[in-house]
Amino acid sequence: MKSVTKSIPLIVTLLACAFLLIPIIQSVLAGLTVNYFRGLSSGLTLKWVGQVWELYSGSIFLSIWLALACLVVTLILGVPAAYALARNPGRASRILEEFISLPLAIPGLALALALLQLYGTLQGFRTSWSFILVGHVLYTLPFMVRSVLSVLAAIDLKSLEEGAASLGAGPARRFFDIVVPNALPGILAGALTVVTLSIGEFNLTWMLHTPYLKTLPVGLADSYASMRLEVASAYTLVFFVMIVPLLIAMQWASARAQRIVQ
Amino acid sequence: MTLTLTNIAKTFPGGTKALLPTDLEISKGEIVSLLGPSGCGKSTLLRIIAGLETPDAGAKIVFDGEDVTHQSVETRKIGMVFQSYALFPNMSVRGNIGYGLKMQRLPRAEIDSRVNEVIALCRLDAYADRSITALSGGQRQRVALARAMAPRPRVLLLDEPLSALDAALRGQLRDELALLLRQFGITAIFVTHDQDEAMAIADRVAVMSQGEVAQIGTPEVLYRNPATGFVARFVGDAMPLEGRIEADRLHLRGGVLALPKPADGSEVLVRAEDIRIDPEGPVSARVETVTFLGTHYRIALGGLAEGPLFALHTGLSAPKPGEDVRLSIASEALLILPRGLAA
């Protein structure tokens, strides 16, 4: 009896894992087989991966470029914003924090439409990668701000800064000597989240992209729509290889930041 | 450094008066303690001297003839030890102590030699390269002091520096701190709510109450000649003898005490150590409880006056609870103070 009650959760867990993992494995295998409809017996090949590289390497580099640009912007905007919110706790700060988080509650499509309506007529901007960047920054900024803010809120920032000031450090020195180093775990967790989200972002990007500016997920949708299944599956494989290490690093960094918060 | 404070007051937004206009003069090398219960304005006064709070208009803060009232904290050249120590967790002990010297842009070699000097003085040699999180409370307290002293500040400000420590350690570090401050020979202001701490460390103590300095003087003066009932109660735990005063006679429930001078309209207080069990004594009381504390007995007395009274009794034995005893109090031990300032 006891063994049954014990084994039921295990079976459920294994089934859930299988439910999630089998399509992934199948997709990966599809990207590596010569002919998916004839199955594995047709043999394994890297031809499709090579073809993805030929067709979509531009998308891969654009995505990496966008993610890094997005990271730089969210660092420059997000870290000082989190610092300002942490130093001035109060009603106004709470409201501002909610405002920064607002893009999370609005569907990416709606956000993209708003951007298009407002800036779509600016020709140079509309067709530039920086147009997509604006969308990505809007979407990822709250993650950076919240991550840094939670670490800053957990340390006695006011006393630390007063200590530094009493030793002769001006505001800029205090920010770079005291605030940034002590917020580092939060900054790192935020940075990995921003990069991961930017690389994987589809909703907004799909609305904002042009035929010359396809990011990784947009290219993926494109390949499923217009290429043979093996190429699209190989594309998924490439996507995995890029995003999984980032996800693991993000988990690790968040856990580290969380330890400080507690 | 000589420190002159004139007309220092602080009104918080919303109108709360944290500090009423206060004047204070501190001479070179003197250690002054600001003593009072929480909310008396002592920390506010310290933070104004540091430059961490802005006083109300009309205040003047002078360091050695230089008006620093409008200088920011980072340019005042003060050293500060915080209640929480505020040590930088991202730096080692050495990094913390050297930070103020780095801000002064001293050459590397000089920073190193001065940091080593302070580390040796504060006996931190064994911990110099440790991280702050690896230190005990007492060690952190010494690092905080070393960090504040390394840049050779004009004045050292300490905000309840011992209150984060447990009781056993506090007594030991109190004496150590008193010694270190005298070795440094620095002008220092020390905020505390603990009278023993204030008396052990300071040359002069300013007793504060409700945003005002009630009295300032050496520990002996405060203890023997308190200016107000509040000071007498706060320093040395004086207890009021409630009764009826007729010229130089105090009529209590348990008898009549002779006062050294006519005291109509005044308040009479006494300290536990001045109440003696004496078969020939002029007043009587009932023993309520007896607590043996090693060096002495603490005896709660009833029936002598209104309110609780305690006597400190030394000797090999003590009366039993329920016994009636006769007591004497030397008339010079009675503190006769104006009524109405008992805040």
pLDDT in tens, A58-78: 888 999 999 999 999 999 999
Mean pLDDT to the nearest integer, B154-172? 89
Residue B18 has pLDDT above 80, yes or no: yes
Which chain B residue has the Cα nearest residue A156? B86
Q: Does pLDDT of B343 surpass 60?
A: no
Inter-chain touch B88–A162, beta carbons under 8 Å: no
- pLDDT, position A30: 86
What is residue B197's predicted lDDT score, i.e. its pLDDT?
92
Q: What is the pLDDT of residues B298-313, one digit of tens each?
A: 999 988 888 789 999 9
Written as six digits, the tokens of B333 are 């031990």
pLDDT surpasses 60 at B184: yes
Architecture of domain B239-338 in this structure: Beta Barrel (2.40)
pLDDT exceeds cutoff 60 at B341: no
d(CA A98, CA A91): 11
Q: Cβ neighbours of residue B224 under 8 Å, at least 6 residues apart?
A: none
Contact B88 A159 (CB under 8 A): no
Q: Residue A2 — pLDDT band, cuts 50, 70, 90?
A: low
pLDDT of residue A50: 87
User: Which chain B residues are within 8 Å of A178, Cβ to Cβ?
Assistant: 88, 90
- φ/ψ of B109, rounded to 5, equals -65, -40
For B235, phi then psi, to 5°, come to -100, 105
Task: List pLDDT tens digits, range A177-208.
Answer: 999 999 999 999 999 999 999 999 998 999 88
Predicted local distance difference test score (pLDDT) of residue B75? 94
What is the rounded end-to-end Cα distance, in angstroms, of chain A?
Answer: 40
Judged by CB atoms within 8 Å, which residues 181-200 of A form the interface with B?
181-182, 184
Count of other CB atoms within 10 angstroms of residue B79: 26
Which of B100-104, B177-181, B327-331 has the highest average model confidence (pLDDT)? B100-104
Task: Give the residue range(s) of CATH 3.40.50.300 domains in chain B.
Answer: 3-234
Backbone angles phi, psi at A169, to 5 degrees: -85, 125
Q: Is the pLDDT of residue B342 over 50?
A: no
Kindly report the length of chain B: 343
Q: Average of pLDDT values for B136-159? A: 94
Contact B86 A162 (CB under 8 A): yes
The model's pLDDT over B245-274, given as tens digits with 9 standing for 90+, comes to 888 889 888 888 988 888 888 899 999 999
With contact defined as beta carbons under 8 Å apart, do A58 and A222 qualify? no
DSSP states along A6-57: HHHHHHHHHHHHHHHHHHHHHHHHHHHBS-TTT-GGG-B-SHHHHHHHHHHH
Predicted confidence (pLDDT) per residue in B28-48, tens digit: 999 999 999 998 999 999 999
Side chain identity at residue B295, one-letter code: T
CATH topology of domain B3-234: Rossmann fold (3.40.50)
Phi/psi at A208 (5° precision): -90, -15
Closest CA to B176 of B165, A262, B187: B165
Give me the pLDDT at residue B74, please: 94
Counted across chains A and B, CB pairs separated by less than 8 A come out at 61
- Tens of pLDDT along B288-300? 999 999 999 999 9
A172 class by beta-carbon count within 10 Å (0-12 exposed, 13-18 middle, 19+ buried) = exposed
For residue B340, the model assigns a pLDDT of 64
Write out pLDDT tens, residues A116-152.
998 888 888 888 899 999 999 999 999 999 999 999 9
Q: What is the enclosing helix (H) or strand (E) of B1? A: none
Beta bridge partners of B299: B290, B311
For every residue of B225-278, DSSP letters joined together read S-SSHHHHHHTT--EE-BSEEETTEEEETTEEEE-SS--TTEEEEE-GGGEEE-
Please tell me the predicted confidence (pLDDT) of residue A33: 85
Query: How many percent of chain B have pLDDT more than 70?
Result: 99
Banded model confidence at residue B154, pLDDT cuts 50, 70, 90: very high
CA proximity to B80, closest of B149, B132, B157: B157
Instruction: Evaluate if residue A54 carries a pLDDT over 90.
Output: no
- For CATH 2.40.50.140, the residue range(s) in chain B are 239-338
Q: Which residues contact A146 (CB under 8 A, 6 or more apart)?
A: A82, A97, A101, A190
Which chain B residues have any C-beta within 8 angstroms of a chain A C-beta? 50, 52, 72-75, 77-80, 82, 84, 86-90, 99-100, 103-104, 147-148, 151
Q: What confidence category does residue A25 fall into, taking pLDDT thresholds of 50, 70 and 90? A: confident
Residues of A (134-163) whose Cβ lies below 8 Å from B = 155-156, 159-160, 162-163
What is the ipTM score, two decimals?
0.86
Which pLDDT belongs to residue B99?
Answer: 97
Does position B7 have pLDDT exceeding 90, yes or no? yes
Segment B62-105, tens digit of pLDDT:
999 999 999 999 999 999 999 999 999 999 999 999 999 999 99
B207-253 residue pLDDT tens:
999 999 999 999 999 999 999 999 999 998 899 998 888 888 898 88
pLDDT tens string A207-257: 888 888 889 888 888 888 888 888 888 888 888 888 888 889 888 888 887
